[in-house]
Structure 1
Amino acid sequence: MKGALLVAGTTSDAGKSVVVAGLCRMLARRGVRVAPFKAQNMSNNSVVTLDGGEIGRAQALQATACGLEPSVRFNPVLLKPGSDRRSQLVVRGRAVGTVGARDYFQHRRELRTVAAAELTALRAEFDVVICEGAGSPAEINLRATDLANMGLARAARLPVLVVGDIDRGGVLAHLFGTVAVLEPEDQQLISGFVVNKFRGDVELLRPGLDRLAELTGRPTLGVIPYAEDLWIDAEDSLGTVADAPVGRPRPPVGTEWLTVAAIRLPRISNSTDIEALACEPGVSVRWVSDPSRLAGADLVVVPGSKATVTDLEWLRRNGIADALRRRAAAGEPILGICGGYQMLGERIDDRVESAAGAVAGLGLLDMRIEFAEQKVLSRATGRSVEGGIPVHGYEIHHGRVVCSGDSPWLELDGAPEGSVRGAVWGTHLHGLLESDEFRRHWLRTVATQAGRTGFVVAQDVSVADVRSAQLDLLADLIEEYLDVAAIECLIAAGAPVDLPAIASDLISGAAASRQ
């Protein structure tokens, strides 16, 4: 089998990323040389690749599903929103500037060329490339600049599966409407549907799927049930809902739970950093956006931000800044990661990201930050200062520590990194808590400082193994609930040539047939 397929979605968070990851894992388990591809992603959840660039977190997970190291080839264009109107543009792993919607329009020809070249190269190297769309192909107001959905599919002649999330309601209308609003040339490539997150008896859904096939001429190639145990590596902000738990908490090993409140910043980035904590039995992690939710938490995490100074001001406006100061004064544990770490210092001098100049930090760490034009992008290994425990992770940030009066927390490649003052810790290192031995050691310290003497850290949790099990679960769902033979035929055969168009006259005809 040799070919490619595009997985599109009726909405953001419909299930595109997980279906792509599941297909990649399923094919890799069968010995197929498969690679993921997302021409353009919009996400502040990113990782640093071996080739020294930056890509969306979902494509890194999909690469892992394929048995590959993450590469900028798998996500050549990345948009990182810093506000409602402006995003940092990352091309082939490197930031090249900040753009708005109108600016982006001017870049479309160059970016299409970049995406097309990367996809062509991947198809020449691998047996199969599973592509992921962005948002929804039905965003017809953006069709002229589209390079990840039907623009890519039409240019590369890709068959397209459309995924809809039935848990949101209205999935049949979403699937039909997605196809109906497209141009006939785009409709021609829509080859089938997948229903995601179904609960209950699928036979009750069958008449609707049959009618959908009659109206569109496209089959539904599977109904994936809602999987309670599937949770790791949320792709976008829809996965970080305030007051929602992270993961599926397991009972504690000891007699007490350890509770973690992770602050849901407006421009949160790399929210997946806290998922390692949620892998631990007896650790209950929850996103919060109200200062009252910090009361009683054993640990508060201030995560990364794509708009550090703006999110710092948000902390002040809603009272969380004062709550953090009270925690620090009382010796209650706080962890800051990347942008969250920078907020904990004495001062931030930012003439790059926000152009705000010198801004007072929260003053919980004796540290000053200055932003530089050149972004730090690095994968790092090292050890903890206390105990010399191995650590690993990656850095993505413009802000640099220019002076610090606190003890360093880590040592990376022989240089000090991070800060410790009492029960306040901070680091620029994303993925740090995936270092299993280090995480266990640190959680014991947190539990002691929080007074949770009955909390016992499990000795056998491996975040890598948890992530691998999640990918296998996805592949199992694909194999059991999708028509894999039909999907393999689509991949091998390429874009269909005989599917009917679904234009306004068909919609009118459908309405007339019901009268």
Structure 2
Amino acid sequence: MKGALLVAGTTSDAGKSVVTAGICRWLARQGVRVAPYKAQNMSLNSFVTADGAEIGRAQAMQAAACGLEPSADMNPILLKPGSDRRSQVVVMGRPMAEVDAMEYWDVKERLRQVAVDALERLRSAYDVVVCEGAGSPAEINLRRGDIANMGLARAANLPVVVVGDIDRGGVFAALYGTVALLEPEDQALIAGFVINKFRGAPEILEPGLDMIRELTGREVYGVLPWLDGLWLDVEDSLALDNRPAIGARAPYGRQTLRVAVVRLPRISNFTDVDALASEPGVVVRFVTSPGELDDADLVVLPGSRATVSDLAWLRATGLAAALPGRAVLGICGGYQMLARTIRDDVESGAGLVEGLGLLPASVEFAADKTLGRPAGTAYGHPVAAYEIHHGVVTADGGEPFLDGCRDGSVWGTTWHGALENDGFRRAFLAEVAAVSGRDFTPAPDVSFAALREERLDALGDLIERNVDTGALLRLLEGGAPRGLPSLPPGGSSREAPDFAAGVPTSG
């Protein structure tokens, strides 16, 4: 088998990432050599590959679904927003520029071939490439410069499956409207739909499925039921809007441990706390106000793409004033905020800024970003992690903690992913319980890596049991069906993109 397809979505957070991962897992279990790909990703949740390249965390998860070590080719362009108008552009795993929204239109012209070459390498190396779109393909104001959705699909002749989120309502209008807003040449590649996050009686949904087939001339390849407890390396903080407190399985000891994660405006790599929620008796919730810290045994200050700006937000909300005297873990940007001083002439240009002063350390931002996969030991256990930061922290006191320091009940480190190391995580939680006076004992047998594998298998099962996999195979091998009808108002005179040149159409 040789082929590729594109998983698009009616909106952000429709489920593109998990459907892509599920298809990848299902194919890998069939013995197919499959790889994920996302030409352009906008996310503050990122990962570092073995060779030191920064890519979207979702693509690292999808690579795991394929049984692969992630590579920069899987996400050649990564945008990391630092404000509503400016983003850092990461190209093939390395920072290229800091641009505003309008400047990026010019930058895009130089990135088309980068995306083309990455896809070409993947299609040459693997039997199947499952591509994920970005946002919605019907964002018509962005169509001309598109390098992630229909621009890519048309140039590479990729069949497209559109995912719609029924849980948010209006899914049939969203599916129909997505197709109708596209040009006829783009519509010809929309092969069909998958409806995601369905809860209820399937027979009630069936008349709508029949109508959308009749109205669009396209198949509904499957309806995916709502899957509780699935929390896998989401791309952005939009998914946090509907996330309840997680964890709360029966504790191994007599009491639970309550963790409050501060939801910073530019929060990044909040996937660091997923491992905490895997522990029985640990409850993790995201908070934005001081009152929500009242019963917290541990406060986590996570990573941030805008350390100085988010520190000002902490002070404005009163959260900063509520931290002294509490057990606090700062990770990357959160660690930087805990220092005495921060000198930032790079990210914010704010110069010297007073930190929270809860750790004996100082921070200076460097022009070059540190990207790596460090390893060490803590609490007598091995720790493997990854790091992504411009801020360089120098500790001048306290006790060593990973690459950072500890002072009393406050810990700081730049290492992401450290809590995924089971022995270290248990020892750290036992220390937090001792500091907070909780009768809490971490369970001795929780494996976060095994839990992630179980969740990836659950995604593969979701596709296998609820999607017409035979139709997916036909799309991979033969492309979009011929003769699909065009829907009005397709056929407008909008200028077509010039992305078509040079994109591969086969492996």
1:356 alignment counterpart: 350
Shift in Å at residue 495 of structure 1? 3.5
TM-score using structure 1 length = 0.94
2: CA distance, partners of 1:310 / 1:83? 9
1:511 alignment counterpart: none
1:406 paired with 2:391, answer no
Of 476, 481, 486, the match for 1:501: 486
1:126 alignment counterpart: 126
SS at match of 2:339: coil
Shift in Å at residue 127 of structure 1? 0.4
Judge which range, 365-374 or 105-114, deviates more: 105-114
Of 386, 392, 398, the match for 2:384: 392
Aligned residues of 1:51 and 1:72 also touching (Cα < 8 A):
no
1: CA distance, partners of 2:345 / 2:27? 47
Shift in Å at residue 404 of structure 1? 2.2
2: CA distance, partners of 1:250 / 1:461? 12
2:315 alignment counterpart: 316
1: CA distance, partners of 2:235 / 2:89? 18
Aligned residues of 2:251 and 2:282 also touching (Cα < 8 A):
yes
Shift in Å at residue 248 of structure 1? 4.5
1:255 alignment counterpart: 254
Shift in Å at residue 315 of structure 1? 0.1
Give deviations 1:336-381, integer Å, cap 9, x for gaps. 0000000000000000000000000000001100000000000011
1:380 alignment counterpart: 374
1:438 paired with 2:457, answer no
Shift in Å at residue 498 of structure 1? 1.4
1:295 alignment counterpart: 294
Aligned residues of 1:347 and 1:369 also touching (Cα < 8 A):
yes
2: CA distance, partners of 1:111 / 1:104? 10
SS at match of 2:386: strand
TM-score using structure 2 length = 0.95
Aligned amino acid, residue 423 of structure 2 = E
Shift in Å at residue 240 of structure 1? 2.1
SS at match of 1:255: coil
Give deviations 1:287-319, integer Å, cap 9, x for gaps. 000110011100000000000000000000000
Shift in Å at residue 76 of structure 1? 0.1
Where do residues 106-117 of structure 1 align in structure 2 (5 Å cutoff)?
106-117=106-117
1:271 paired with 2:257, answer no
2:87 alignment counterpart: 87
2: CA distance, partners of 1:57 / 1:485? 29
Shift in Å at residue 249 of structure 1? 3.1
1:491 alignment counterpart: 476
When residues 256 and 248 of structure 1 are mapped into structure 2, their CA distance, relative to the original with a 3 A threshold, is closer
2: CA distance, partners of 1:113 / 1:503? 33
When residues 392 and 300 of structure 1 are mapped into structure 2, their CA distance, relative to the original with a 3 A threshold, is same
Give deviations 1:63-114, integer Å, cap 9, x for gaps. 0000000110100000000000000000000001111121111022221111
1:367 alignment counterpart: 361
Shift in Å at residue 40 of structure 1? 0.3
2: CA distance, partners of 1:229 / 1:274? 15
SS at match of 1:205: helix
Where do residues 471-482 of structure 1 align in structure 2 (5 Å cutoff)?
471-482=456-467
2: CA distance, partners of 1:183 / 1:483? 27
Give deviations 1:260-307, integer Å, cap 9, x for gaps. 000000000001000000000000000000110011100000000000
SS at match of 2:241: coil
Which structure's relative contact order is higher, taking Cα pairs within 8 Å and 6+ residues apart? 2
Aligned residues: 491
2: CA distance, partners of 1:425 / 1:402? 14
2: CA distance, partners of 1:496 / 1:214? 16
Aligned residues of 1:232 and 1:247 also touching (Cα < 8 A):
no
Shift in Å at residue 145 of structure 1? 1.5
When residues 467 and 505 of structure 1 are mapped into structure 2, their CA distance, relative to the original with a 3 A threshold, is closer
2: CA distance, partners of 1:33 / 1:442? 39
1:336 paired with 2:321, answer no
SS at match of 1:478: helix
Aligned residues of 2:247 and 2:279 also touching (Cα < 8 A):
no
Where do residues 172-321 of structure 1 align in structure 2 (5 Å cutoff)?
172-241=172-241, 244-321=243-320
Aligned residues of 1:246 and 1:275 also touching (Cα < 8 A):
no
Identical counterparts, % of pairs = 61
2:413 alignment counterpart: 427
2: CA distance, partners of 1:403 / 1:254? 35
SS at match of 1:241: helix
CA RMSD for the aligned pairs?
Answer: 1.2
When residues 60 and 246 of structure 1 are mapped into structure 2, their CA distance, relative to the original with a 3 A threshold, is farther
2:502 alignment counterpart: none
Shift in Å at residue 429 of structure 1? 0.1
Aligned residues of 1:381 and 1:391 also touching (Cα < 8 A):
yes
2: CA distance, partners of 1:468 / 1:501? 41
2: CA distance, partners of 1:318 / 1:234? 26
1: CA distance, partners of 2:208 / 2:246? 32
1:452 alignment counterpart: 438
1: CA distance, partners of 2:84 / 2:235? 18
When residues 218 and 28 of structure 1 are mapped into structure 2, their CA distance, relative to the original with a 3 A threshold, is same
Aligned amino acid, residue 340 of structure 1 = G
Judge which range, 228-237 or 51-60, deviates more: 228-237
